[in-house]
Structure 1
């Protein structure tokens, strides 16, 4: 009886910890909303806030009906979720964790669509958001998640009953590739297919600044995202009360603390490097650049946060900052327009994070995270730590596989929407602003240009409708 009671308490604590982590990850939706709202021009603030809400609610239904089944289905039993019952699949091995595990994975899934929304902000028809959010959350993201996180996945580092890729499998602990690279590549294709915003580049191809309207919201959103990341990364241990046989006084509870420290160090380093790097390049201190740099560091460390030393997290953040700065410079040269730098930040820094893990993962921490600290267990680990090429090879394969998968699904989708004239709004509507042309008014109190802009748009609508009988 005592053993049963102890097991019950352990499972209860693990479930509560997982739920608490899910709540932290869900707070990131608020962070995305504030970051996006502050990063766009005032005339599109209502639109971008609505799309963030829609990404969450549409993604919830899509993931419930289909996504969870595609991500974690394996077997013939059904569980409490419609999608997994519909497909005749089993969600997770231990059914006592179904609900809390589903909620945690759901919080990850709806974050992906939020990433993509930022890339196509200020020029996209609202209906297009409904379409890509449903498909991205219900099918595209779950397939990538299945590859890496499901025991049946071909990239999984602890694949049940099968050989590991290169004897290692890919380590993507909290989703630099599964979440951020997926969202970043989807946003890349959305931006490419739509093209830049009206006025973003002049007649000679030179970039024209289109600054966001509210730095306060950007900073608020950044801190909310950073706060949520402490559920995103440490929460990915799922079960906190797992002791390590090779270290009697250690367990996942110590790994959780180390993961949180690595997360904070990588983000802080990237923010600091971006601060000084951009100061050298543009000649002034910029809070918005620091915010994006900080987020780039958090994205990058998400893959290896549980398997690297804190000092390595600093290296991760340092390189992530320069990856972001370099990709932003390249984007301007290529006349690529991403209002929130989402493709560069989540895609570029997410890819770097996977490579970083293949270079700096420590064997002791890999065994703890993926073998529960089993005594005598050996695992491939970081190349620069003496662990050979196996892990790094698997990480490179994940980068290529995820990028290819998202490209062959989301690229054609955006192209089809464009062909059907369902993707981009008209130039006149874009100039007037989505809030006044599509959502009935501005998000803020009237300003002096409102009447003039509304008059111009009303005249445009009158001309398009033609004379009335």
Structure 2
């Protein structure tokens, strides 16, 4: 069948846009690496940088071999059993650009999890969990929500509660999945040595480089413009006409709602923490900004800009409150990953069920075809269907990730493959596991190997 000139141009534009968005999302890996490196102590900097590399490379192989098939294979509506589906593309449905974009999302999930278990985890455990979560756990959720045959998908022919769950760019699919996995890893490992004193009071273990944290935050912000607007994987589904608006009309608004939610959350978190601790902290603003981005990721394409401000406002209090609760429960997450990605991701899904606008839902999922009706936000008069689907998505993600990643981390713990020894943790992962430091020691008496460290401890005893 001959392809018209107009169809060729449309396909070319869609491909270029999709690949450019994939490149932006991949930039987020640099952001994660800088954020993580700056948020840990200097003695663990090399380790956390290596884990970020491993998240990408192990995730690439596992998503290529298994993950893409589980995510978009259509044989089984539960997980998809079209194994090695990638080898058959392009097949008229998916192409290599689509795979690359989905891969960039997949490797981000393991990065969220690794932040929760930083500074005390054996490197071999990273290899195991990053391969498993990227090849199986995360893709199953992708299939449920983003595949056209997924039972939660808003693009399904049989919509759950007449609506399907709207998780446009992954507040739940990406962020909540990574957060729940990290929560179980951190909970099973327990707090870092010295995080709480003998009386149970928290002891600050601040990261060593605020500059890297701020750099990483801005790189993540930049990448989020691929993460959210880029999730319109085909921006020219339909040109505007008397019957179609075309979903490209939503792309610019999606970038604006993303910016407004993150900015609002950043300023509210900054002032909120100022009232609690008595001083201004750039790191609080950075975490608040990321929390707002996580929250708006679900509804970025289907809400008004004013609603995005509401989203960011609430997400700031969610983050602050969960961090206070975590300290009270002696839960230790060096990057606040579970609180930020899990708490704000959950709020983002609920927010979408409350504030999604029907016109924008139709733009995003029906190419703006006039006359189409869909359930929309409860507070805008759209009924309970969408909100109910959002709550169901939250529940199934929590259960699915818990029953898969929880036993995995527990098994690694029982096999003594999860947490490093106390001596190694005190020495730092760089010297105990990687043979050196990220920064050259300035003190000649500073131990230059793990053996030197152990001899120093014996001499001091």
TM-score calculated relative to the size of structure 2: 0.94
CA contact (8 A) 1:74 1:90 kept: no
Q: Distance in 1 between matches of 2:331 and 2:125?
A: 20
For 1:461 and 1:73, how far apart are their aligned partners in 2? Answer: 56
**Do the aligned partners of 2:54 and 2:127 also contact (CA within 8 Å) in 1?**
yes
- Matches of 2:233 and 2:85 in 1, distance apart? 25
What is the CA deviation profile of residues 272-330 of structure 1, one whole-angstrom value per residue up to 9, with x for unaligned ones? 10010001111100000100000000000000000000000000000001000000000
Indicate the residue corresponding to 1:70 in structure 2: 70
- Match of residue 92 from structure 2: 94
d(CA) in 1 for partners of 2:329 and 2:88? 46
For residues 455 and 376 of structure 2, the distance between their equivalents in structure 1, rounded to whole angstroms, comes to 62
Q: Check the 8 A contact 1:72/1:92 in 2, yes or no.
A: no
8 Å contact from structure 1 (residues 243, 252) kept in 2: yes
Question: Match for residue 80 of structure 1?
Answer: none
Q: 2:139 aligns with which of 139, 142, 155?
A: 142
The CA deviation at 1:241 is: 1.3
Q: Return the alpha-carbon distance in structure 2 between the equivalents of residues 3 and 382 of structure 1.
A: 40
Give the aligned partner of residue 335 of structure 2. Answer: 340
The answer as to whether partners of 2:436 and 2:449 remain within 8 angstroms in 1 is no
Give the conservation status (yes or no) of the 8 Å contact 1:324–1:345. Answer: yes
Deviation, structure 1 residue 3: 6.7
Structure 2 residue 445 is the aligned partner of structure 1 residue 451: yes
CA–CA separation in structure 1 for the residues paired with 2:115 and 2:3:
50
Q: Name the CA distance, whole Å, in 2 between partners of 1:35 and 1:391.
A: 35
- Indicate conservation of the 8 Å contact 2:265/2:292, yes or no: yes
The DSSP-based 3-state class of the residue aligned with 1:451 is: coil
Give the Cα separation in 2 of the matches to 1:438 and 1:240.
Answer: 47
Paired with 1:45 and 1:4, the residues of 2 have a C-alpha distance of 54
After superposition, what is the alpha-carbon deviation per residue over 1:41-98, rounded to whole angstroms, capped at 9, x for unaligned? 000000000000001000000000000000000159xxxxxx9554699778734x41
> Could you tell me which residue of structure 2 aligns to residue 367 of structure 1?
362
- Does the 8 A contact of 2:261 with 2:292 survive in 1? yes
Aligned mate of 1:183, from 164, 178, 181: 178
Aligned to 1:158: 155
Instruction: Work out the number of aligned pairs and report it.
Output: 454
Q: Distance in 2 between matches of 1:88 and 1:233?
A: 24
Task: Work out the CA distance in 2 between the residues paired with 1:54 and 1:353.
Answer: 29
Match of 1:127 among 121, 124, 129: 124
**2:282 corresponds to which residue?**
287
Distance 1:382 1:89, change over 3 A: farther
1:306 matched to 2:307? The reply is no
SS at match of 2:419: coil
Tell me by how many angstroms 1:137 deviates: 0.1
CA distance in 2 between partners of 1:441 and 1:134 (Å):
26
The answer for unaligned runs of 5 or more in structure 1 is 77-82, 465-469
- SS across alignment from 2:445: helix
Matches for 1:37-436 after TM superposition, within 5 Å: 37-75=37-75, 86=84, 94-95=92-93, 97-160=94-157, 163-243=158-238, 250-436=245-431
Q: 1:50 to 1:286 in 2, by over 3 A?
A: same
Matches of 1:423 and 1:339, distance apart in 2:
16
Deviation by residue 1:224-267 (Cα, 9 ceiling, x = unmatched): 00000000000001111133667678432221000000000000
Cα separation, 1, equivalents of 2:454 and 2:95: 53
Cα distance, 1:2 vs structure 2: 10
Say whether the 8 Å CA contact 1:246–1:375 is kept in structure 2: no
Deviates more, 1:235-244 or 1:49-58: 235-244
Structure 2 residues not aligned, in runs of 5+: none
- Check the 8 A contact 2:37/2:213 in 1, yes or no: yes
Contact residue 246 and residue 374 of structure 1 kept, 8 A: no
Aligned to 1:12: 12
Q: Deviations over 1:150-203 (max 9, x none)?
A: 11111001113xx21110000000000000000000000010000000000000
Conservation of the 8 A alpha-carbon contact between 1:414 and 1:423: yes
Counterpart contact for 2:447–2:456, Cα < 8 Å: no
Contact 2:431 2:449 in 1 (8 A): no
Distance 1:91 1:180 in 2: 28
- Give yes or no for contact 1:72–1:91 (8 Å, CA) kept in 2: no
Distance change (3 Å), C-alpha of 1:433 and 1:248 = same
CA distance in 1, matches of 2:169, 2:446: 49
Tell me, in whole angstroms, the C-alpha distance in 1 between the residues paired with 2:229 and 2:35.
Answer: 23
Going from structure 1 to structure 2, the CA distance change for 1:375 and 1:250 (only over 3 Å counts) comes to closer
- 2:258–2:297: 8 Å Cα contact kept in structure 1? yes
Return the alpha-carbon distance in structure 2 between the equivalents of residues 22 and 64 of structure 1.
Answer: 16
